[in-house]
Structure 1
């Protein structure tokens, strides 16, 4: 095979991969459904410990979104990401939460819960709404406007409420 043929095959493969990535949102590493997402300077304290994120928290529809894996690790929860179906499965103990990218509903142990902010995939990172996720796992969530901090701690009685 000549050098020209090899170069053409590589170019074709790159072009095909690019076309696939823009054709299917799940393949894109910067998939955000609309532009109503903005970076915010907030702190998140989980069980009195500040969470250090690899990506800055974001705001969407007055809700704070944070990187799922980093945040949920602090709550000792397991996170499984299914890119082909655009959904994240979060589990801790007997509680299982399912969230789909771009969906304003989530499932807690099979029960549907409406949200006013949807999870997004931003630059390859799944960003989830802090309040819905933590409360879904049974934690109390408090927002302190004065110091722009989300406090998470103390368990509620029933996370599937």
Structure 2
């Protein structure tokens, strides 16, 4: 019962925030929340203004192999990566995200994530589904200095110093 109430509250909060939706983030946000199975998310900016960014996603986050996958653009925007700093190379199936001096590269099917050119191993790979790339949220968020927590079907990503 509590889980259903938490999900309903998260959904209603995100829906309410959609009414005051802002543009695409341009600076690192304090935190972002994604709810598994719902196509909405919200974030808190450094000015502590609660916003919903692209509140209505066209796909939903999901869990596979014990990892939470979020569509690349929505994960990036929620963290604060500017639209111009989210790049997809079709030929190599590589995603590159850049923000505040950190560059993260991931390739579909590869367990290696490159953070500022240095390789790190993940236990899962980015996935390509129905023409969309989904990234393992934890690895990407941590590469940008965030911490990740899970509560029921909510994935919370936050900057530890705030």
C-alpha RMSD of the superposition: 2.1
Q: Equivalent residues in 2 for 1:108-123 (5 A)?
A: 108-123=115-130
The number of equivalent residue pairs is 115
In 1, distance between residues paired with 2:159 and 2:56?
Answer: 20
Alignment match, 2:37: 41
> Which whole-Å deviations, capped at 9, do the CAs of 1:85-133 have from their partners, x for residues lacking one?
1100011010000000001111001111111121011111110011111
Alignment match, 1:53: 57
TM-score normalised according to structure 2 size: 0.63
TM-score normalised according to structure 1 size: 0.64
Alignment match, 1:87: 94
> Which whole-Å deviations, capped at 9, do the CAs of 1:39-83 have from their partners, x for residues lacking one?
x52676544766643212122220011111122112221210001
Alignment match, 2:131: 124
Find out whether 1:66 has 2:70 as its counterpart.
Answer: yes
Answer yes or no: is the 8 Å Cα contact 1:88–1:100 preserved in 2.
yes
Alignment match, 2:111: 104
Alignment match, 1:152: 157
Gaps of 5+ in 2: 1-35, 45-49
Answer yes or no: is the 8 Å Cα contact 1:105–1:112 preserved in 2.
yes
Answer yes or no: is the 8 Å Cα contact 2:42–2:78 preserved in 1.
no
- Which stretches of structure 1, 4 residues or more, deviate above 2 A after TM superposition? 40-53
